[in-house]
Amino acid sequence: MMCGWYWGPLTYEAAKALLDTKPDGSFLLRDSSDDCYILSLSFKSNGKVYHTRMEHHKGLFSFSSQPESHQRCMIKDFMEQAMQNSEDGKFLYFLQAPGPGMPPVPIRLLYPVSRFSSISSLMHLCRFSILGFVRRDLIDNLPIPESLKLYLKESQYFVETLQ
């Protein structure tokens, strides 16, 4: 997926760190840490960072409890529609209220946080390229030092480790 807002295996803590200093409406999509879900959306609303899992049911992506007409079979199409809806205000998305008596949290996808916005090290770019050609279970067969094999096996490979 060549969408800058998709970060791959990013933890929710790292997503929060990326979004903390961004304005409301900033967001990114990442792999879900829950094996029952494929993707999670991290976004900033009302000055706080929130995380929600993307629904994938009967081959369609959506936020929970939204009309079927807003669901899409490709996540890229769903996100583009959600961004357009956020921009023009024709359809609003909400996250369930965080507690009793609290209002639902508006989800506005206005400012994608791109993983392409920072320059990666040469070492990281090489890892990303190698992993495009070598399956993870074959890394040990490469004629390279053990330290490089360990680096290639790290789960975070879309972006450099965030400190």
Neighbouring C-beta atoms of residue 7, cutoff 10 Å? 23
Comparing C-alpha atoms, which of 107, 110, 142 is closest to residue 127?
142
Please give the domain boundaries of the chain with CATH numbers for all domains: 12-116 (3.30.505.10), 118-153 (1.10.750)
Interval 11-51: pLDDT, tens = 889 999 999 999 999 999 998 888 888 889 999 999 999 99
pLDDT value, residue 85: 85
pTM over 0.85: no
CB 92 within 8 A of CB 18: no
Output the pLDDT for position 163: 44
